[in-house]
Amino acid sequence: MATAARQTLKIGLIPADGIGHEVIPAARVAIEALGSDIPKPEFHDLLAGFELFKRTGEALPEDTVETLKECDCALFGAVSSPSTKVTGYSSPIVALRKKLDLYANIRPVLSVAPSPDQQPDVDLIVVRENTECLYVKQEELTNGTNGKEARATRLITERASRRIGQMAFELALARPRKHLTIIHKSNVLSITDGLFRETVRAVPSLDSVGGRYNDVTIAEQLVDSAVYRLFREPQIYDVMVAPNLYGDILSDAAAALVGSLGLVPSVNAGDNFVMGEPVHGSAPDIAGKGIANPIASMRSAALMLRHLGYTKGADRIDKAVDEVVREGKTLTPDLGGTSKTQEVIDEVVKRI
């Protein structure tokens, strides 16, 4: 939380790959525009990513990790993920989540402007467990009687499920509807998803005060039907909590309902650190063209500041962004506009 005694806010900036180099500067400018509503920002430019790996053989330098440990928070741009195995390479964002114990990926998805195809209003949060599931990346390829056999280990632990469950309950408790949906596939994966489901459901019973989460309504949804209902009736969802893979898919799907991945922010949060990260990828097809949507990175900066307790500054960024999107005159091509990245940045900052 924010404290009056803090004179500076140390923020690590990791553009990483592709359009990360265009959108992270946008988030920085938005933060700088807040003036005295936050402590004086002190930015640290840091390296990571697949492009760095191709140049140096290292995707996440130890210097980056050590500097982040001295920061109050960070912003991560986007990372390229090769579709085939590259020897020695592993995703730096996955590694950072583990090294900094950022166990929760919090992804709000919110309608701002009226949908042209009359989609229902969307106002939900996907809370994604960030450290395990299939993303532990324990895979092996062997030869068997049926030719090559590929296997992957899926890890679900009681500790991780309990932590993400408590984070989800806290988020639900703070929202008007106070509704939490547990996403799983325990009808098929009865052991792994069964443990996740049971552990999250048990969170209220572990409350030492007793009754803290009495106002939170708990629902469940199988992940396949959750995707279907997300597109058919997204208004039924408030806070959704899911294992890593399901949360990744659901939040990208939800982004389609509000027009673009370029609008959707997230934070990677732990008990002692928070890192903002736009949900979109590195978009190599448009990198360097000056048309990347900077809004998700700006919203991620606001989400990061809000998590730290700087609500006034976060509200100013969100309000400015929402005004630009609603007005619809200064939008990048992914939203049907013709504006350049810098034009959107200038318009948002003017309103901040």
The CA distances from residue 331 to 31, 291, 311, 351, in Å, are 20, 9, 26, 15
Helices (H), the chain: 20-32, 50-56, 62-69, 92-99, 158-173, 192-201, 223-232, 244-256, 295-308, 311-327, 341-351
Q: Is 85 a catalytic residue?
A: no
CB 299, CB 23: distance < 8 Å: no
C-alpha 84/C-alpha 37 separation (Å) is 45
Known catalytic membership, residue 224: yes
Cα separation, 49 vs 76, in Å, equals 10
Of 72, 238, 248, 318, which is the active-site residue? Answer: 248
Q: Which of 185, 213, 237, 238 is catalytic?
A: 185
Q: Is 252 a catalytic residue?
A: yes
Candidate list 101, 123, 252, 322, residue with the active-site label: 252
Task: Tell me, yes or no, if 148 is annotated catalytic.
Answer: no
* DSSP-assigned letters across all residues of 40-56: EEEEEE---SHHHHHHH
Which of 72, 103, 135, 318 is labelled catalytic? 135
CA distance 31 to 41: 8
Set 224, 271, 329, 350: catalytic member: 224
Active site residue 17: no
**SS3 letters for 97-140?**
HHHCCCCEEEEEEECCCCCCCCCCCCEEEEEEECCCEHHHCCEE
Q: Which residues are catalytic?
A: 135, 185, 224, 248, 252
